[in-house]
Amino acid sequence: AAGVIQSPRHLIKEKRETATLKCYPIPRHDTVYWYQQGPGQDPQFLISFYEKMQSDKGSIPDRFSAQQFSDYHSELNMSSLELGDSALYFCASSLGSGPNEKLFFGSGTQLSVL
């Protein structure tokens, strides 16, 4: 069965550069969530989209932006990268945005900022 696909799997950037992370949800899933997990930390909710509209916002820095496209894939754009942005970025998708919908996580993008 198709799962949530994130690309790239690994990304290395330098300070002040920009990065774009992509997420392809499970087919027919209309809701996408982004989480950030720092080294040894628990995942932190960043932002979510339902039917291409932002549905909720968490601890996402102003330097980051995200959107969901007409094919439901989502991109997380990160500018002016800082060392502290080094983390594992998870995307998750579900069919519908309610808590009763099962959330499926991708394998994550490991971002390293040097």
Partner 1 sequence: AQKVTQAQTEISVVEKEDVTLDCVYETRDTTYYLFWYKQPPSGELVFLIRRNSFDEQNEISGRYSWNFQKSTSSFNFTITASQVVDSAVYFCALTPYGQNFVFGPGTRLSVLP
Binding site for partner 1 (CB under 8 A): 31, 33, 35, 41-45, 48, 55-56, 58, 88, 90, 92, 94, 97-108, 110
d(CA 99, CA 105): 15
- Of 23, 102, 109, 34, the closest CA to residue 69 belongs to 23
Report the nearest approach of partner 1 to the CB of residue 13 (Å): 19
d(CA 14, CA 34): 22
Report the nearest approach of partner 1 to the CB of residue 84 (Å): 18
Please list, in sequence order, all residues whose beta carbon lies within 8 angstroms of the beta carbon of residue 40, skipping any fewer than 6 positions away.
none
Q: Residue type at 77?
A: N
Nearer to partner 1, 80 or 112 (CB): 112
Nearer to partner 1, 79 or 86 (CB): 86
Report the nearest approach of partner 1 to the CB of residue 60 (Å): 11
Nearer to partner 1, 79 or 88 (CB): 88
